[in-house]
Amino acid sequence: MIATDRYMLRPMSEADIPQVADIEAESFPTTWPRTAYRRELQNKLARYLVLVDRAHPPVAAKPRPRRSFFGLGIGRRAAEEAPAPADYIVGYVGLWFMVDEAHIVAIAVREAYRGQGLGELLLSKAMELALENAQDVVTLEVRRSNYVAQKLYEKYRFLKVGVRRRYYSDNHEDAIIMSTPPIQAESFREFLDYLREAYQVRDPGTRNREEETA
């Protein structure tokens, strides 16, 4: 796994959904309802990870209404429960495991944090999860116009294997289907190890914007 002193990857929790939804809104023209993320967290075939900036102060979440002893608080004011401050999330990645294929559903980074190689950090962890779960290949869809993301995926040996015509509902843009070669092959594992080592020795703050997902 790629690791840095500043950034930490961990499983996504329900408390993370508001921040993940904000990142999604910055990154994609169309978004999921928050209830979809709650369902995904219960999906045994899905894995969602968030990237935390440990140098950023914790985020003060909004107080949540709490039911009173009498149920819905009818006739009296319901107390408010103040949640503990939350980690500051700067990116996330989601995968589905489908028999022998790991499909990357989404990968996104906060706009203010792009250009620092954090998209690559998330992609590398997604590849690691696919290996750990005995998947044979990793697949994804990317907009035809998103050359920045395509370049990152090609760095990890994703190949263009097909097209979904008019796939995106906002502008009917085509989606390029990309897939890796067999990731369990020893040669591919060695290649991933090489990329991890190369990432570790470089300063994330000086990484080129072309290596960041949009």
Within 10 angstroms of residue 174's Cβ, the number of other Cβ atoms is: 15
Question: Which of these is catalytic: 141, 167, 168, 173?
Answer: 141
The Cα 50–Cα 89 span in angstroms is 6
Q: Is 167 a catalytic residue?
A: no
141 flagged as catalytic: yes
Cβ atoms of 94 and 106 closer than 8 Å: yes
Contact indicator for 135, 100 with CB cutoff of 8 Å: yes
Q: CA-CA distance, 44 to 73, in Å (whole number)? A: 35
* Strand, coil or helix: 196: helix
- The residue annotated as part of the active site, out of 153, 156, 199, 211, is 153
Q: 45, 28 in Cβ contact below 8 A? A: no
Q: Which amino acid is at 19?
A: Q
Residues marked as catalytic: 141, 153
